[in-house]
Amino acid sequence: MNSFLTLTLLLIMPIMIYVACSNNNSPTAPSNPGPGAPTFTPTETALCAPYYRFGKSVIGGTHGGGFATSNLFCNRFNLSASGTVYRLHAYLQSVPTPGAIIQGALYSNGGSAPLSLLGQSVTQTAVTGWNTLDIPATILASGTYWLAVASNSGMSFASNGGSGTNTGFNSFNTTFSNNPSGGATGEQISIYADYCP
């Protein structure tokens, strides 16, 4: 009888050890973040969480206007708290020319016009709808700044009449530079910036 029990244990023990080791090394399934968790495409990865916006993030009610070839359009907005700006978004109603490019920039405030160029995106192909334009992370104190967008081709944007801190400025400069020449337009396009507090 003892010999039978000993033989049985010798046969069962390796199986028990194998099962125990297999269970201990099994990968753990990642937890489900739930439906409320944010998701980002590689180009939409936030620099921080949470992040904030300033500018005009709603689509303008008047669909019209447009960029002349090789000019830039700017709007002035107030940043209520200090932060690090790292991305711009600009809404285009239409892009008539296939392959047209768009570029965004951030300016300091010179009163009725943009003053110093603080940062700019690389050029990229323009699309109808929201265009995401990454700029180098730029630390700003609270205050008034200009968000700008430029194109090498005529295109339409959504806009409303602007006033106060949302004054528009149109320049026929072909590239971003300090103290761009131009004049006020009174138009506010749909453009805003993402920033980290």
Residue 112 falls within a domain, yes or no? yes
| pLDDT score recorded for residue 22 | 32
Residue 4 falls within a domain, yes or no? no
Q: What is the 3-state secondary structure (H, E, C) of the chain?
A: CHHHHHHHHHHHHHHHHHHHHHHHCCCCCCCCCCCCCCCCCHHHCCCCCCCEEEECCCCCCEEEEEECCCEEEEEEEEECCCEEEEEEEEEEEECCCCCCEEEEEEEEECCCCEEEEEEECCCEECCCEEEEEEEEEEEECCEEEEEEEEECCCEEEEEEECCHHHCEEEECCCCCCCCCCCEECCEEECEEEEEEC
**What's the pTM value of the predicted model, to 2 decimals?**
0.72
Residue 26 falls within a domain, yes or no? no
| pLDDT score recorded for residue 186 | 76
Q: Which domain holds residue 130?
A: 48-196
Residue 24 falls within a domain, yes or no? no
Residue 191 falls within a domain, yes or no? yes
Residue 114 falls within a domain, yes or no? yes
| pLDDT score recorded for residue 106 | 97
Per-residue pLDDT of the chain (197 residues; tens, 9 = 90+): 545 444 444 444 444 433 333 333 322 222 333 333 333 333 467 889 889 999 999 988 665 556 666 677 889 999 999 999 999 999 998 888 888 899 999 999 998 889 999 999 999 999 999 999 999 999 999 999 999 998 888 777 777 765 555 567 777 665 788 988 788 777 788 999 999 99
Total structural domains in the chain? 1
| pLDDT score recorded for residue 172 | 66
* Domain CATH code at residue 144: 2.60.120
| pLDDT score recorded for residue 27 | 28
| pLDDT score recorded for residue 167 | 67
Residue 162 falls within a domain, yes or no? yes
Residue 180 falls within a domain, yes or no? yes
